[in-house]
Amino acid sequence: MTCIEISRPGGPEVLVPATRPVPRPAPGEVVIAVAAAGINRPDILQRKGVYPPPPGASDLPGLEVAGHVAAVGDGVRTPRPGDPVCALVAGGGYAPYVAVDARHCLPVPSTLDMAAAAALPETTFTVWHNVVERGRLAAGESILIHGGSGGIGTTAIQIAKALGATVFTTASAGKLDSCRALGADHAFDYRTVDFVEAIKAETAGRGVDVVLDMMGGDSIARNLAVLAADGRLVFINFAAGSTATVDFLPIMVKRLTVTGSTLRPQTADAKARIADGLRRVVWPMLEDGRVRPILHATFPLAQAADAHAAMEAGTHFGKLVLTVQ
């Protein structure tokens, strides 16, 4: 099969076509004939050589796909050959075929085509685990979602709203209205607005129950400042740096929880458990339209380099997806 590999660490131009054998399903796995593959910010980090695949994972980029099941391994009862599925993969999505743990597959929602379904797994698994399982966001609570305009952010805004939360978000100036249209109650320009002041003003000084942050850096202390008593701060990246001089007093005084996670290195069992939660709570939201993937653009697989350049240009709102076959 002709896939896209990372020929060496570097810019988008290091993404080049390569010939690899079609994978066979191991026991417990299925092989998916990939119709579309989502692009995520971690793919960029992997291409640059700073986010290596975990041991045993494919070295090819691509963390999520949608397509039809082409083959099933021993012991797999569902999904069945021919079923339309989308799946979280630990790598190898930029290819016509990929092997995946059968438990990491979810049905393609009846409302979506393959390109839209390919945009679901990485963001929904990440948001479910970090906002719901770690952040423990509950109906009637409030959340600050940094980067509301990206793949993760557009998903988090919609899931948080559907769960009955009040949503605050940060994004660049030109994308704030789109964040509001998705359901954000308040959206602030991260370049010009102090989100702590703005949220304190909107909440009579209380702050929010949960913060989802991928920036870190000088946001770390401000995230602690904007949390209400018993609040939860969840990190999914430190794009602006993971070190800071921070006063820990608010953690004790306000009884805060500081946590975080990365999805890719988690065990297969842990990912299967996240998939179960998604199937139970988020897939019905997709079926009835309360949540939908926001597709900014699609690119043919052969133009993966252009898709990476587009993500790095940062003008997208929502997701970029590769069409494969």
Ligand X SMILES: NC(=O)c1ccc[n+]([C@@H]2O[C@H](COP(=O)([O-])OP(=O)(O)OC[C@H]3O[C@@H](n4cnc5c(N)ncnc54)[C@H](OP(=O)(O)O)[C@@H]3O)[C@@H](O)[C@H]2O)c1
**Site residues for ligand X per CB under 6 A:** 40-42, 122, 126, 146-147, 149-153, 170-172, 175, 190, 214-215, 236-237, 239, 261-263, 311, 314
For 143, residues 6+ apart whose C-beta sits below 8 A from its C-beta are 131, 135, 137, 156, 160, 165, 166, 167, 168, 208, 209, 210, 211, 212
- Of the pair 58, 149, the CB lying nearest ligand X is at 149
Provide Rg for the chain, Cα atoms.
19
Report d(CA 161, CA 180) in Å as an integer: 11
Mode of pairing for the β-strands spanning 97-101 and 29-39? antiparallel
- Of the pair 18, 270, the CB lying nearest ligand X is at 270
- Of the pair 39, 72, the CB lying nearest ligand X is at 39
- Of the pair 172, 323, the CB lying nearest ligand X is at 172
Query: In the complex, what is the shortest distance from the CB of residue 292 to ligand X, in angstroms, rounded to a whole number?
Result: 16
Query: In the complex, what is the shortest distance from the CB of residue 52 to ligand X, in angstroms, rounded to a whole number?
Result: 14
Q: Which residue is nearest to ligand X (CB)?
A: 150
Query: In the complex, what is the shortest distance from the CB of residue 270 to ligand X, in angstroms, rounded to a whole number?
Result: 12
Query: In the complex, what is the shortest distance from the CB of residue 123 to ligand X, in angstroms, rounded to a whole number?
Result: 7
Report d(CA 223, CA 232) in Å as an integer: 10
Query: In the complex, what is the shortest distance from the CB of residue 160 to ligand X, in angstroms, rounded to a whole number?
Result: 15
For 177, residues 6+ apart whose C-beta sits below 8 A from its C-beta are 187
Query: In the complex, what is the shortest distance from the CB of residue 126 to ligand X, in angstroms, rounded to a whole number?
Result: 4
- Of the pair 100, 119, the CB lying nearest ligand X is at 119
- Determine the residue type at 97: Y
Query: In the complex, what is the shortest distance from the CB of residue 146 to ligand X, in angstroms, rounded to a whole number?
Result: 4
Q: Do the Cβ atoms of 255 and 229 come closer than 8 Å? A: yes
- Of the pair 103, 308, the CB lying nearest ligand X is at 308
Report d(CA 325, CA 323) in Å as an integer: 6
- Of the pair 101, 122, the CB lying nearest ligand X is at 122
Q: What are phi and psi of 90, to 5 degrees?
A: -85, 5
Q: Is the dihedral of CA 216, 222, 225, 229 positive or negative?
A: negative
